[in-house]
Amino acid sequence: MRTGVGSPRPVGNLPGEVTSFVGRRREVAQAVRLLRRARLLTLTGVAGVGKTRLALRVAVRTREAFPDGVWLVELAALTDEKLLAPTVADALGIHHQQGQRSTTQTLADYLADKRLLLVLDNCEHLLDPCAVLTSRLLRATTGVRILATSRQALGTAGEHLLEVPPLPVPDLGQPVIPRALTRGEAVRLFAERAALARPGFAVDAGNRATVVRICHRLDGIPLAIELAALRVRAMPVAEILIGLDDYLGFLSTGSRVAVPRAQTLRAAIDWSFALCSSLEQQLWARASVFAGGFDLDAAEVVCGGMGIACEDVFDLVAGLVDKSVLTVVPDETDVRARYRMLEAIRQHGQERLASSGHLMVVRARHRDHYRQLVMRARPEWLGPNELPWITVLRREHANLRAALEFCLTEPGQARAGLEITAALRHHWVRFCTHGEGRYWLDRALELDPEPSPQRANALWVDGHLALLQADLVTARSLLEQARVLAHRLGDESVLAYTTLCFGVAAFFQNDLHHAVTLLEDALARHQELDDPPGVWLGLIYLTLATAVLGDPDRAVALGEKCLALCDSRGASSSRTYALAVLSLGRWLSGDRQEACRLIRDGIPAALRIGDWWVVAHYLETLAWIAGADGLHTRAARLLGAAHAIWRSAGTPSSGPRYLASIHDRCQQHALSVLGNEQFTAAFRHGARFTLDQAIEYALEDTSDRTAT
C-alpha cells in the first residue's frame, strides 16, 4: 500500500534538502542513465565525498519512474547485521509478524509486485549482509531497483558501480575571468557555504587564489571544504589556508607520496576538532554515542558532568551547530530541536571518546537515560499521553537499539536489557515489530537465566509476541516458563498476563469456549489488580472471541466497556483498537449503520498513529458490510485494499487467522456473484490504491447504492 496520494505528493520518505546541492551534473546524469538499465547501482567513494547527497539527488530526479515510491534506508547507525532486514522493512513501513517466515521473505513477498527505488545509505560496515539481502530482493522482484552508497562495492552479481569523485578544482595557473570567479564546483561550494557562515562573504579577485588553494589542499572533498568554509566566520581565508597547511603538512611529513584523500578528510576533521574549545571537544566525543540523533535533554544527561556543567550543554551544542559538527534535524512534528552528526564526524568523535577513557561511562549513561525514558513511558499507556510517547519511542528507536546492544554485549548488564525490552512491549506491538522485540528478549533471556521478576515479565512478553507471530509452540513454552516462575515469585501481574495469553493461544487455535473461559479469568485477575492496560487487553480479546463464537450481543457489551475504559482515560491510540473490535460486534449483531459510524470515527486516529493493523481491520470490516449489502464490487475493492495493508503489517493477506472464516465467506460470495474476471479486476484495483485513495473510497457514503 503506497502512502501518498495519487499524483501530486511524492511517495516515499526522502528528506528535504537543507542546503543547496552544488555541481555534480555529470555524475547525476550518469547515475540516472545507469539506473535505467541496472537494478543495483552502488555509488562508491571515500568518506565525505558526497555519496549520500548524490544518491538523494538521483532519487529525486528519478522518482517519477517509481509509482510505489522512493525509500531511504539509513544504515550508518546500524551495528547488528541481524537487524538489517527489519530496518529496511521499517523504512518501508512494512512489518514482520509471521513466525514461519523470515523478515527477508516478508520483504520479498511485499515487494513482489512493486515498482520502487530503495536507497541503502552507508553500506560499508555491512557489506556481506547487504549483498545477500539485495540479491534476494532483486531475485524475488521485477520492479524494484536499489541505489546503494558505500566506500566499497557490495560485490554481488549484477551490481553496477559509479565512483563518486571529488569536486573538480580549477588549475592554480588558470587565468581568472572576472565574471567567473566561482568557476569550478569546489570553489562554488566553498563560496556558498562560506556565505551561509558569514553573510556577505564572496569570492573576489583578491581572495580567489587562496580559496582555490584551500580547495586543492582538501582534494575537492565536499565535507572537508564545507568544514573549512565555516571558518570564515572567525578568520580570513589566508589564515584558513595556513591552518590547513599545518595539519596536512603533518600528515605528509617524511613522505614524498601525496596524502591519501581519506587522510585529507581526517585532517580537515582533526583541524575542526582543534578549533573547538576544550569543552566543545569533550561534548563532540560524548555525543558520538547517540544513534539516529538526540535532543537537548539527552545531551545534558548523557554528556554533562565530568567537567561539563549541565547548564553549559546548550551553549556547547549551539557552538557545535555553528561549526557544522552537529546539524539540526528538520522535523515538522517535533516541537523540540533535534541534533545529529554526519557519520564521518561521529566516527571521529567515537575515536576521541575511546581514547579519553570515558567510553564505558558515557555508554552506560546513554543506556541509563533511555532505560529511564522507557520506564517513564510505561505507565502512560492507556492514558492521555500515550500518543506522544508512541511518537517519542518511535523517534528514539535507533538509540533504544544502541542501549540494548550495550546491555547485551557488556558483562553483567543483561538484566537491564530484560527490563528495557519487556517494558517496550507496547512499542513492539503497536508498530508490528514483534520479530525485533523477540530478538532482543531471546538474547537477554539467554544471557540472564537466573530467576527474577524481570525474567518472569520478559518471558510472558516474549510469549505474547510469539503468539502474534503465530509461533504457538514457542509461545506456549515461554508462557509456561513465565507461569511457573511467577508462581514461585508470587507475581500476580505476570500470572494474570500468562492466563490472558493462554486464552489468546486457545482463541488462535479456534478452541473458542476454552479461550473465553481463560480470558474471563484473566480479565477478573487484571480487574482485581487494578491494572487498566491488562483490563483493556483482556476486553479486546474477549470481545473478538465472543464475536467469533457467535455471541455478538455479548461482544458488543464487552466492546462498549473497552471503549468506555479508553474514553475515561483519554487513551486515543488504544481507542482505535476498541473501535475496531466493537465495530465487528455491531455488524455481527445486525447494526450495520453503527458499525460504519464507529469505523469512520476510528480511521483518522489510526492514520495519525500509523497503526496499519487497525486500518486494515477497519477496511476488512467495511468490505464484509459491503458484501452483506450486495455491493460486491465495492467489497472486492476493499478486500484488495485491506490485502495490501495486511501485507505491509506482516499479517496474512486475508487478515488474522481468527477472521479467516468471515473473510472467506465474503470473498466467495463476491466471486460467485461477479465471476472470477470481474472480481479479480476489482480486487487488484483496490490493492493498487494509495493509502489516501483507499481511505477516501472506504469513507464514501453507500447508503443509497444498489446491489452490484
Residue 483 pLDDT exceeds 70: yes
pLDDT 10s digits, 425-465: 999 988 878 889 999 999 999 999 999 999 999 999 999 99
Mean of pLDDT values over 551-571: 97
CA atoms within 13 A on the CB side of 459: 27
**Domain boundaries of the chain, sorted by first residue:** 25-163, 178-274, 276-357, 614-708
Residue pointed to by grid coordinates 549541565: 310
Of 339, 431, 359, 380, the residue nearest 569 (C-alpha) = 380
Question: What's the CATH fold of domain 25-163?
Answer: Rossmann fold (3.40.50)
For residues 208 and 419, the model is more confident at 419
- Do residues 43 and 155 make contact, with C-beta atoms less than 8 angstroms apart? no
Among the ranges given (30-39, 172-181, 673-682), the one the predictor scored with the smallest mean pLDDT: 172-181
Among the ranges given (160-164, 190-194, 228-232, 600-604), the one the predictor scored with the smallest mean pLDDT: 228-232
Mean of pLDDT values over 228-243: 89
Tell me the whole-structure pTM to 2 decimals: 0.86
CATH number of 276-357: 1.10.10.10
Q: What is the pLDDT of residue 258?
A: 44
Mean of pLDDT values over 496-516: 95
Confidence of residue 3 (pLDDT cuts 50, 70, 90): very low
d(CA 289, CA 29): 37
- Do residues 430 and 436 make contact, with C-beta atoms less than 8 angstroms apart? no
Task: Convert 228-265 to b/e letters by CB count within 10 Å (16 or more is b).
Answer: bbbbbeeeebeebbebbeebbeeeeeeeeeebebbbbb
Confidence of residue 5 (pLDDT cuts 50, 70, 90): very low
d(CA 696, CA 708): 20
Q: What is the pLDDT of residue 251?
A: 44
Q: What is the pLDDT of residue 61?
A: 94
Q: What is the pLDDT of residue 420?
A: 98
Q: What is the pLDDT of residue 659?
A: 78
pLDDT 10s digits, 116-150: 999 999 999 999 999 999 999 999 999 999 999 99
- Do residues 522 and 499 make contact, with C-beta atoms less than 8 angstroms apart? yes
Residue pointed to by grid coordinates 555508554: 363
Residue 649 pLDDT exceeds 90: no
Mean of pLDDT values over 644-662: 72
Among the ranges given (245-249, 250-254, 382-386, 632-636), the one the predictor scored with the smallest mean pLDDT: 250-254
Q: What is the pLDDT of residue 432?
A: 76
The three-class DSSP label of residue 294 is strand
d(CA 363, CA 356): 13
Q: What is the pLDDT of residue 101?
A: 63
pLDDT 10s digits, 354-399: 999 999 999 999 999 999 999 999 999 999 999 999 989 999 999 9
Residue 305 pLDDT exceeds 70: yes
Confidence of residue 536 (pLDDT cuts 50, 70, 90): very high
Q: Are strands 327-328 and 40-44 parallel, antiparallel or unpaired?
A: unpaired
Cα 418 to Cα 5, 131, 372, distances in angstroms: 41, 32, 14
Q: Are strands 338-340 and 327-328 parallel, antiparallel or unpaired?
A: antiparallel
Q: What is the pLDDT of residue 182?
A: 58
Q: What percent of the chain has pLDDT over 90?
A: 68
